[in-house]
Amino acid sequence: MTLDRRNFFVACSKVGAGATLLPGILYAMAAQAQEAAAGAKTSAPITDEMIDEAAKLAGVGPFSAEQKKQMHGILKFQRFAYDPIRELKLPNSVAPAYVFHPLPAETLKPKREECEIIDPLATVIIVTDDVGGYGHRPIPSNIEEMAYWSLLELGKAIGYAKVSSLDLTIMYIARLKRLDSKLHCIITLTEERALRQAKEADEAIKRGEYKGPLHGIPWAAKDLLAVKGYPTTWGAGGFEKQSFDVDATVVERLDAAGAVLIAKLSLGALAMGDKWFGGRTRNPWNLDQGSSGSSAGSASAVAAGCVGFAIGSETLGSISSPSTRCGVTGLRPTFGLVPRTGAMALSWTMDKLGPIARSAADCDLIIHAIAGPDGKDTSVAREFIWPMQMDVKSLRVGYHKSAFDVPPPVKEEPAAPNETDEQKKKRETANRAAYEARVRRVYDLKFEKAALEAIKKMGHELVPLELPKLPYDAIAQLLTAEAASAFDELTRSGRDALLTEQSSDDWPNVFRAARFYPAIEYIQASRARTLVVEQMRALFANVDILVTSSYNGAQLTATNLSGHPALIVPNGLRGSDAPAAASFDDGNSDDIGGPGTPVSITFLAAHYNDAVLLEFGRAYQEATGFHKLHPPIG
pLDDT tens digits for 475-514? 999 999 999 999 999 998 999 999 989 999 999 999 999 9
- Lowest mean pLDDT of 29-38, 56-65, 437-446, name the range: 29-38
Told to judge if 222 belongs to the known catalytic residues of this protein, a careful annotator would answer: yes
User: Is 249 within a domain?
Assistant: yes
Residue of 149, 165, 562 whose CA lies nearest to 359: 149
Phi-psi region of 270 (alpha: psi -120 to 50; beta: other; left: phi over 0): left
- Tell me how far the alpha carbon of residue 520 is from its chain's centroid: 27
Planar angle of CA 244, 245, 248, nearest 5 degrees: 70
User: Is 309 within a domain?
Assistant: yes
- Lowest mean pLDDT of 49-53, 168-172, 598-602, name the range: 49-53
pLDDT tens digits for 556-590? 999 999 999 999 999 999 999 999 999 888 887 77
Task: Give the pLDDT confidence score for residue 97 in this predicted structure.
Answer: 85
CB contact set of 519 (below 8 Å; sequence gap of 6+): none
Residue of 148, 146, 149 whose CA lies nearest to 167: 146
312: phi then psi, degrees, rounded to nearest 5: -120, -175
Distance CA 173, CA 262 (A): 7
Q: Given the residues 68, 156, 211, 222, select the one marked as catalytic.
A: 222
Q: Which residue has the higher pLDDT, 543 or 379?
A: 543
Q: Is the pLDDT of residue 457 over 90?
A: yes
Query: What type of residue sits at position 623?
Result: A
User: Is 481 within a domain?
Assistant: no
CATH number at residue 202: 3.90.1300.10
Q: Band of the pLDDT at 102, cuts 50, 70, 90?
A: low
pLDDT tens digits for 522-550? 999 999 999 999 999 999 999 999 999 99
User: Is 327 within a domain?
Assistant: yes
CB contact set of 66 (below 8 Å; sequence gap of 6+): none
Distance CA 272, CA 496 (A): 14
Q: Is the pLDDT of residue 34 over 70?
A: no
User: Is 186 within a domain?
Assistant: yes
Distance CA 102, CA 80 (A): 35
Q: Given the residues 266, 295, 313, 318, select the one marked as catalytic.
A: 318
Residues 507-530: b if buried by 16+ CB within 10 A, e if exposed: bbbbbbbbbbbeeebbebbbbbbb
Q: Own/partner pairs for 552-558, CB < 8 Å, 24+ apart? A: 552/400, 552/403, 554/403, 554/467, 554/472, 555/400, 555/403, 555/467, 555/602, 555/604, 556/316, 556/317, 556/320, 557/316, 557/472, 557/473, 557/476, 558/467, 558/468, 558/470, 558/472, 558/532
What is the 3-state secondary structure of 439-471?
HHHHHHHHHHHHHHHHHHHCCCCEEEECCCCCC
Q: Is the pLDDT of residue 160 over 60?
A: yes
Q: Band of the pLDDT at 109, cuts 50, 70, 90?
A: low
Query: Range of 238's domain?
Result: 133-391+605-625
Task: Give the pLDDT confidence score for residue 589 in this predicted structure.
Answer: 79
Q: Band of the pLDDT at 274, cuts 50, 70, 90?
A: very high
Q: Is the pLDDT of residue 96 over 70?
A: yes
User: Is 176 within a domain?
Assistant: yes
List C-alpha distances in Å: 18 to 6, 46, 295, 518: 11, 17, 47, 20
Told to judge if 182 belongs to the known catalytic residues of this protein, a careful annotator would answer: no
pLDDT tens digits for 183-241? 999 999 999 999 999 999 999 999 999 999 999 999 999 999 999 999 999 999 999 99
Report the C-alpha dihedral over residues 622, 627, 632, 633, rounded to 10 degrees.
-130
User: Is 18 within a domain?
Assistant: no
Residue of 259, 176, 190, 274 whose CA lies nearest to 228: 190
Q: What is the percent of the chain with per-residue pLDDT over 90, rounded to a whole number?
A: 75
Average pLDDT over residues 25-36: 49
User: Is 470 within a domain?
Assistant: no
Residue 222's H or E segment, with its range, is strand 218-222
What residues form DSSP beta bridges with 616?
A: none
List C-alpha distances in Å: 279 to 275, 473, 499, 588: 6, 30, 12, 15
pLDDT tens digits for 313-345? 999 999 999 999 999 999 999 999 999 999 999
Told to judge if 294 belongs to the known catalytic residues of this protein, a careful annotator would answer: yes
DSSP 598-627: EEEEEEEE-TT-HHHHHHHHHHHHHHH-GG
Q: Given the residues 266, 294, 321, 323, select the one marked as catalytic.
A: 294
Total domains in the chain come to 1
Is pTM beyond 0.85? Reply is: yes
Q: What is the percent of the chain with per-residue pLDDT over 70, rounded to a whole number?
A: 86
Q: Band of the pLDDT at 388, cuts 50, 70, 90?
A: low
Task: Compute the mean pLDDT over every residue in the chain, rounded to the nearest whole number.
Answer: 88
Give me the helices (H) in 160-215, please.
Answer: 165-183, 191-206
